[in-house]
Amino acid sequence: MMMDQKILPASASMKDFERFLESSYEIGVFLDLHISQLKNVSMMAKQHNKKMIYHVDLIHGIRSDEYATEFICQEYNPHGLISTKSSVILKAKQKGVIAIQRIFLIDSHALEKSYKLVQKTKPDYIEVLPGAMPWMIKEVKERLQTPIFAGGLIRTSDEVLNALDAGASSITTSKTELWDIV
C-alpha cells in the first residue's frame, strides 16, 4: 500500500477541498471536518475520482475511537485514516484502510512513548509533526522502519525538499502554495 504522491494536500476548509478536487492529485487529506460534512465530502471526492484520508481525531461530532473508525470505514470507505489513538489505528488496519499514526516530536520522553505506541500498532505510515525537522524524520524512519509523512510547520519549498531528502515519503500540508512544488 505504498503511496508515491510526494505532496498530500490537506484541506482545512471546503474552499481548500474544492481546490484539491480540481488538482491533479489523486489522494488528499481532510482535516477539521464536521460529521455532517463527511457524506458530502466523500461523495464529491468520489465524483472527482479522488481518494480521501480523514483525520479521525479532527472530525467534530464523533468520538475518535474504534466504533467511530468502524462507522467511517463502513459508511465512507476512506483510503486512509490518521489518528494519534492506537484503537483507531488498529481498527483501520483491521478494516483494510491505510492506517497513519500521528506522532508529535515534543521532547525525548514523548518520542520514546511514540516509539512504543508505533511498535504496538504497526501502522502503514507515521505522520511526524512538526515535519520541518529533517534530522528527526531520518531518526524516526531508521528506528521504526515505517514510511514517514512529514506535516506541520512546513512553510517553504526548501523545507518540503529537506523533509523528502531526509526520507519522508510524502508531505502533508494545508499550505496551498506548497501543493504545486513537487
- Over residues 129-144, the pLDDT tens digits come to 999 999 999 999 999 9
Rounded average pLDDT over 165-175 = 97
Residue 80 to residue 161: CA distance in whole angstroms: 24
Which grid cell is 125?
Answer: 505510515
pTM: 0.96
Q: pLDDT at position 4, please?
A: 86
Q: Is the pLDDT of residue 116 over 60?
A: yes
Which grid cell is 70?
Answer: 468502524
Residue 94 to residue 81: CA distance in whole angstroms: 12
Q: Is the pLDDT of residue 179 over 90?
A: yes
Which grid cell is 159?
Answer: 523545507
Rounded average pLDDT over 114-129 = 98
Residue 152 to residue 145: CA distance in whole angstroms: 21
Q: pLDDT at position 3, please?
A: 78
- Residues 80-106 pLDDT 10s: 999 999 999 999 999 999 999 999 999
**Torsion sign, CA atoms 80, 128, 25, 30:** positive
Contact present, 17 and 43 (Cβ < 8 Å) = no
7: Cβ–Cβ under 8 A, 6 or more apart, which residues?
A: 25, 160, 170, 171, 173, 178, 179, 181, 182
Q: pLDDT at position 181, please?
A: 83
Rounded average pLDDT over 3-30 = 96
